[in-house]
Chain A
Amino acid sequence: MVTLDDYYSDDPVAWCPGCGNHSILKALKQALVDLDRPPHEILIVSGIGQASKTPHYLRCNTFNGLHGRTLPVATGIKLANHELTVLAEGGDADGYTEGGNHFIHAIRRNMDITYLVHNNQVHGLTKGQTSPTSDLGYVSKTTPMGSLSPPLNPLLLAVSCDCTFVARGFSGEPEHLAGLISEGIQHRGFSFIDILQPCVSFNKTNTFQWYKQRIYDIKDDPSYDPRDRMLAFERAQEWDEKIPIGVIYRTDRPALDEKQPVIRDMALVKQKIDQASFEGIFESFR
């Protein structure tokens, strides 16, 4: 049995006290323990930002790469060794601006990767600039007149691209979040989980209380069917008064790593280089 102790990392945590990241880390570890997956079978690719420090704080294989570039690295890893449980993790700026193009194409590929986005609607690590999910009119040092552009709605984008698993969690509900992460990992395909998270240092609008007053679990609505895409479009747009968390949308489509014929029988990394097989490769050039 895998326990939380197996996921212990001695790397000192460098987040602000009270930051939502602490609960997200806890939820992530809990999900991995619940799934009984040992650390060496887990690989987390992260980007740059406060969220992207997460994999250092648990024991697992880690590739902490570049800002916005988590998903291509994760795609390469998963294709090379699909036996690994691969997660990608970063913040809203990392994933939705710098990594926006990769996000769309990761959805298209439907790799069996679970993508966690810590969405605090602000650039945390660089001290509070406006992010792609900051509210219209959000005032920061980069938008002193207030943000002139409306926020990106990542859930709506994911549903419109027919992402096979679209969910939203809240750092203030770590047990619920652990359940979502666990469900996402078990989903065969690209699982996208946007995680709402207050930034105690820089975002004075979307505070813990602000979220707490609006959050509701979509499962509490018995009429909601996450397989109904039109309903998903509606709920993905809910925001100002009520904010749904839970699985917003899911559908079935074969994952790219399932469709790739080269790795149907064996992980790529386990396929030996057979130099004898190269005889004959020159024939068509004679």
Chain B
Amino acid sequence: MALDVTIRIGGRAGQGMQSIGLILGKIFTRQGYYVFIHQDVEARIRGGHSFVQIRIKDEPVYVHSDKVDLLIALDKGSMDQDQPDLAPDDIMIFDVQEMGFTSDNPARLPVPMEQLAMEAGKNKIMANSVATGAALALLGVDLQPLLDRLDEEFSAKGPEIVEKNRNCVSSGYRYIQRHFKGYFPKKIPPAPFKKEKLLLTGSQAMVLGAVCSGLKFYSGYPMSPSTPIMEFVASLGAERGIIVEPAEDEIAAINMVLGASFAGVRAMTATSGGGFCLMVEGLGLAGMTETPAVIVVAQRAGPSTGLPTRTEQADLDFVIHASHGEFPRAVLAPGHAEQAFYTMAKAFNLADRFQSPVIVLGDQHLNDSYFTVDHLDLGRMTIDRGSIIPEEEMASPLEYKRYAWDESGISPRILPGQGKAVLYADSDEHNEAGHITESAMVRKAMVVKRLRKVEGLRREMDPPEVCAEPDADLLLLGWGSTYGALGEAANILTRSGLKTEVWHFCDLFPFPDADLLAQLPEKTQIISVENNSTGQFARLFSGQGGIPIDHQIFKFDGRPFSPRDIVTRVYRAL
């Protein structure tokens, strides 16, 4: 039986669940395991109920599991709300003081976390460190990697903090060994320490992808769940030569990005649906002036303020259709962190080559979850700035025309101030020189020129990633962050006798060439799976490909699909 362990850490916001999850995640990633960390948090800084769930496998993992093997309940709320997700023999450890009672049930293990934290660290806030040590002991894992990890984690805060945390984790570890050794049935075999794999969130992968694509300018306004993108770019900014300018609103953010891009540097912004609403006139401006721009939209449940910290895939229609008028754009929706990294390179290249806005569609589930990634290959990060003509290649700098006609729809750019030529870019309809025009003939030609780029972009769209199953009975269709849930659901279904193939789309718009639909397996039921309530992708797929979808599975409660969610719903649909 393959290794598959899920630990949930539940408590109030502010109790440090995320740091337990992340520290454990790093330790197991370094031992060569694959980790997925799922965060279910409320939009508050203190209190309420949140949990972090870490899943450890010996093969790549892209999604959380419903099956919790070990619950660390840091408060009463966790015991009330998380315990129902446990089977009777799943293990829970809980804080005796916090709960006000103890237990002699061999699956419900009382650990005096706050008391041990007071003794070992002189501060009950370090109960999370005690819990981390306790969890490691239950999993039968050596303590030393954790102690090493603490040195790295807290060294900036001084030797005293490192020492206290070391004492706390050791104390939790010893307590389990003394009282509950062997109580947890699953064991994670010791593995040699390696520093090869990476553990990172979708947001971090996007930023690394952008930076390794030559990002030079970022402007944005904080909005969950996109904020960590801005924070991470800002943390790299000075060292990596990237300017990060906080904007007064998302309107300013997109306009600053367009300004920087017009001046010649790679520029991006990130936001969520509500912020993108404000950016929409700027999106049209990018389309009309033919200015490259990369915009990450990390979706959350909407409309309006919606559920700020929770996930949804309901902005696909919006980003495809946003703005008045008709102009080219590309929409890409990576399914996991590794894909997010390479997708950013593609987004910047498409934006530059087609002088158009490119939207990278993430969501809370993709952006906030941590993934173990084997390797990110810089060799795959080619940088193509598109058609920029240097002065010496111009017939005459005085004759340069920004919107010169070309069959491809792409007119060579110049960068202002880099030569004697000047350029006019205009949001009004314009002639080849960029001056305002109302000529019917020129208008028509310019619309045609811009829309030529749609076909060029379409040729760049990759087909879906197909997880093929010969003679499949069932085809699951999905896009973006459902990647992991779709793959695992298909495995479960296939194992149980329903041969299931998966098509996962990252490149969504312009919709990839219709020829690919000829590859659809025959006599197969098609079921689309989307984290929304109306089937936005299903409409795109059927509309563009002319292929009807037999059943649709929706989820719009602000929570991501688990594999089991999909399996249950498939059986209900058939």
Q: Do A and B bind each other?
A: yes
Residues of A within 8 A of B (CB): 11, 14, 38-41, 43, 45, 48, 53, 55-56, 59-66, 69, 71-81, 83-84, 101-102, 104-105, 260-263, 268-269, 271, 273, 275, 277-279, 281-282, 285-286
- In the docked arrangement, what's the CA distance between A41 and B258, Å? 19
28 contacts between A and B (CB under 8 A): A14-B436, A40-B420, A40-B421, A40-B422, A55-B424, A56-B424, A63-B259, A66-B255, A69-B255, A71-B252, A72-B252, A73-B258, A76-B262, A77-B259, A79-B256, A79-B259, A80-B217, A80-B263, A81-B263, A84-B417, A102-B252, A262-B243, A268-B217, A269-B415, A271-B216, A275-B383, A278-B211, A286-B199
- Interface 9-mer from B75-83, B117-125, B281-289, B326-334: B281-289
Beyond the given A56-B436, A102-B251, please list 20 additional residue pairs across the A-B interface where CB-CB is below 8 A: A11-B436, A39-B422, A41-B417, A43-B263, A56-B426, A56-B435, A60-B422, A61-B417, A62-B426, A64-B425, A65-B285, A71-B252, A72-B247, A79-B243, A102-B248, A105-B252, A271-B241, A273-B214, A281-B240, A285-B204
What is the distance, in angstroms, from B238's C-beta to the closest C-beta of chain A?
A: 6
**A279 touches which one: B217, B243, B378 (CB < 8 A)?**
B378
- In the docked arrangement, what's the CA distance between A159 and B53, Å? 54
- In the docked arrangement, what's the CA distance between A79 and B255, Å? 13
Tell me whether A76 and B219 are in contact in the complex, defined as CB-CB below 8 angstroms, given that A63-B259, A269-B265, A271-B241 are known contacts.
Answer: yes
Q: Which residues of chain A are near B282, meaning CB under 8 Å?
A: 66, 69
- In the docked arrangement, what's the CA distance between A71 and B259, Å? 10
Asked if B316 is at the interface (CB within 8 A of a chain A CB), the reply is no
> Do A80 and B285 touch (CB < 8 A)?
no
Q: Which residues of chain A are near B289, meaning CB under 8 Å?
A: 63, 65
What is the distance, in angstroms, from B432's C-beta to the closest C-beta of chain A?
A: 12
> Do B242 and A76 touch (CB < 8 A)?
no
Q: Which residues of chain B are near A59, meaning CB under 8 Å?
A: 422
> Do A76 and B378 touch (CB < 8 A)?
no
What is the distance, in angstroms, from A1's C-beta to the closest C-beta of chain B?
A: 16
Q: Which residues of chain A are near B285, meaning CB under 8 Å?
A: 65-66, 69
- In the docked arrangement, what's the CA distance between A11 and B264, Å? 25
Asked if B86 is at the interface (CB within 8 A of a chain A CB), the reply is no
Asked if B540 is at the interface (CB within 8 A of a chain A CB), the reply is no
- In the docked arrangement, what's the CA distance between A65 and B255, Å? 9
Tell me whether A281 and B208 are in contact in the complex, defined as CB-CB below 8 angstroms, given that A66-B255, A75-B259 are known contacts.
Answer: yes
Asked if B30 is at the interface (CB within 8 A of a chain A CB), the reply is yes
Q: Which residues of chain A are near B264, meaning CB under 8 Å?
A: 80-81, 269
Asked if B322 is at the interface (CB within 8 A of a chain A CB), the reply is no
With both beta carbons as reference points, the residue of chain B lying nearest to A257 in the complex is identified as B243
- Interface 9-mer from B155-163, B190-198, B466-474: B190-198
What is the distance, in angstroms, from B208's C-beta to the closest C-beta of chain A?
A: 6
- In the docked arrangement, what's the CA distance between A45 and B252, Å? 14
In the A-B complex, list the 7 residue pairs whose CB atoms are closest, starting with the nearest: A76-B259, A72-B255, A273-B214, A80-B263, A76-B256, A61-B416, A76-B260
With both beta carbons as reference points, the residue of chain B lying nearest to A283 in the complex is identified as B195
Question: What is the interface of chain B mostly: helix, strand, loop, or mixed?
Answer: mixed
Task: Enumerate B312-359 residues with CB–CB distance to A below 8 Å.
Answer: none
With both beta carbons as reference points, the residue of chain B lying nearest to A62 in the complex is identified as B424
Asked if B381 is at the interface (CB within 8 A of a chain A CB), the reply is yes
In the complex, per-residue mask of B183-218: 1 if CB is within 8 Å of any chain A CB, else 0: 000000000000111111000100010011010110
Asked if B361 is at the interface (CB within 8 A of a chain A CB), the reply is no
Q: Which residues of chain B are near A74, meaning CB under 8 Å?
A: 259
In the complex, per-residue mask of B422-450: 1 if CB is within 8 Å of any chain A CB, else 0: 11111110000111100000000000000
What is the distance, in angstroms, from B325's C-beta to the closest C-beta of chain A?
A: 13
> Do A269 and B263 touch (CB < 8 A)?
yes
What is the distance, in angstroms, from B544's C-beta to the closest C-beta of chain A?
A: 31
Task: Enumerate B221-269 residues with CB–CB distance to A below 8 Å.
Answer: 236-238, 240-243, 245, 247-249, 251-253, 255-267
Tell me whether A263 and B243 are in contact in the complex, defined as CB-CB below 8 angstroms, given that A72-B251, A285-B198 are known contacts.
Answer: yes
With both beta carbons as reference points, the residue of chain B lying nearest to A85 in the complex is identified as B417
Asked if B376 is at the interface (CB within 8 A of a chain A CB), the reply is yes
Q: Which of B236, B259, B381, B422 has the most CB of A within 10 A?
A: B259
> Do A83 and B417 touch (CB < 8 A)?
yes
- In the docked arrangement, what's the CA distance between A275 and B243, Å? 18
**A84 touches which one: B247, B263, B266 (CB < 8 A)?**
B263
Asked if B419 is at the interface (CB within 8 A of a chain A CB), the reply is yes
- In the docked arrangement, what's the CA distance between A255 and B7, Å? 51
What is the distance, in angstroms, from A218's C-beta to the closest C-beta of chain B?
A: 31
> Do A81 and B417 touch (CB < 8 A)?
yes
**B208 touches which one: A73, A268, A282 (CB < 8 A)?**
A282
Q: Which residues of chain A are near B243, meaning CB under 8 Å?
A: 79-80, 260, 262-263, 268
With both beta carbons as reference points, the residue of chain A lying nearest to B238 in the complex is identified as A261
Q: Which residues of chain A are near B249, meaning CB under 8 Å?
A: 101
Tell me whether A73 and B237 are in contact in the complex, defined as CB-CB below 8 angstroms, given that A60-B422, A260-B243, A269-B415 are known contacts.
Answer: no
What is the distance, in angstroms, from B388's C-beta to the closest C-beta of chain A?
A: 11
Tell me whether A76 and B436 are in contact in the complex, defined as CB-CB below 8 angstroms, given that A40-B419, A275-B378 are known contacts.
Answer: no
- In the docked arrangement, what's the CA distance between A14 and B436, Å? 10
What is the distance, in angstroms, from B378's C-beta to the closest C-beta of chain A?
A: 5
Tell me whether A62 and B423 are in contact in the complex, defined as CB-CB below 8 angstroms, given that A75-B245, A269-B264, A286-B198 are known contacts.
Answer: yes
Task: Enumerate B382-406 residues with CB–CB distance to A below 8 Å.
Answer: 383, 397
What is the distance, in angstroms, from A9's C-beta to the closest C-beta of chain B?
A: 8
With both beta carbons as reference points, the residue of chain A lying nearest to B199 in the complex is identified as A285
Q: Which residues of chain A are near B255, meaning CB under 8 Å?
A: 65-66, 69, 72-73, 76
